[in-house]
Copies of this chain bind each other. A is one copy, B any other.
C-alpha cells in the first residue's frame, strides 16, 4: 500500500525521530499512530516527560497523517499549537493523529498523546498542525 510506504519513509529518514525512539505503529488514509518507550533522557526538571518530547511526537505523527493525504507530494510543518493537560509520568506514550482538512496546498491535522499512567491511559497533550504541501525534495 503506497500510503504506508510514503508515511513510513518520513519516519525512517528522520534522524531525530529514530534518535528519540518514536516508532510508527499504524497508518492509513488520513491517520497515523506512533509509540514511545519513555526513558530517563526524555524527562524535564520535575521528572515528567518534557513538553518538547510530546510536541515532537505529536508534530511528527500529525505530519505522518498529513503525508498519508498528500498523494505524490510531500509535506512540511508550517506551524502547530499544542496544549498540555497533565504531567506524563508513565512508561509508554501513544500518539494518534488524523487529518481534519486536506487541501491542495495546505493540510491540517490534529494529534492526541496518551500516557500509560497507573490509573490507565490518559490524554496528556493535544496538537493542531498546519502543513504545506510541497514537491518531493
Give residues in A with beta carbon < 8 Å to B: 9-10, 13-17, 19-20, 40-46, 50-53, 55-57, 59-60, 76-86, 100-101, 103, 105-106, 108, 110, 123, 126, 128, 130, 132, 137
Contact = CB atoms under 8 A, between A and B. Distances in A.
A103 B83 CA distance: 13
Contact of A46 (B76, B79, B110): B76
A127 to B, nearest CB: 9
A42 to B, nearest CB: 6
B55 A55 contact: yes
27 contacts: A13-B44, A13-B45, A14-B44, A14-B45, A15-B41, A15-B42, A16-B50, A17-B44, A50-B60, A51-B77, A52-B52, A52-B55, A55-B55, A55-B59, A77-B84, A78-B83, A78-B106, A79-B79, A79-B130, A80-B81, A81-B81, A83-B100, A83-B130, A85-B103, A85-B108, A100-B126, A126-B128
Contacts of A101: 83, 85-86, 123
A80 B50 CA distance: 13
Contacts of A76: 46, 84
B123 A100 contact: yes
Contacts of A45: 9-10, 13-14
A103 B82 CA distance: 17
